């Protein structure tokens, strides 16, 4: 049906190595657009840089 292609779910995947004994911790969050996902990703990067944690955080957006 028409209209469905307008809504593309994007997933923000965040891999962090913050005190994780068993390797990376992965969390995901869904967004309704690439722009929203990218905005959240940028916010995370800025947050990590401000705390000197940018080496331990890897956020990336992927289309679902």
Give the three-class secondary structure for 43. Answer: helix
CA pair distance 58, 7, nearest whole angstrom: 25
pLDDT recorded at residue 51: 93
pLDDT recorded at residue 3: 52
pLDDT recorded at residue 10: 96
Write down the pTM of the prediction. 0.77
Neighbours of 17 (CB within 10 A): 13
CA pair distance 32, 2, nearest whole angstrom: 17
pLDDT recorded at residue 20: 60
Across the 64 residues of the chain, what is the mean pLDDT of every consecutive 10-residue run? 67 84 87 96 95 90 93
pLDDT recorded at residue 4: 53
């Amino acid at each position: 049906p028409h209209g469905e292609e307008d809504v593309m779910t994007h997933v923000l995947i965040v891999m962090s190595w913050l005190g994780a004994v068993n390797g990376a911790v992965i969390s995901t969050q869904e967004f309704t657009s690439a722009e929203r996902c990218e905005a959240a990703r940028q916010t995370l990067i800025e947050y990590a840089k401000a705390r000197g944690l940018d080496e331990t955080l890897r956020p990336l957006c992927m289309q679902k």
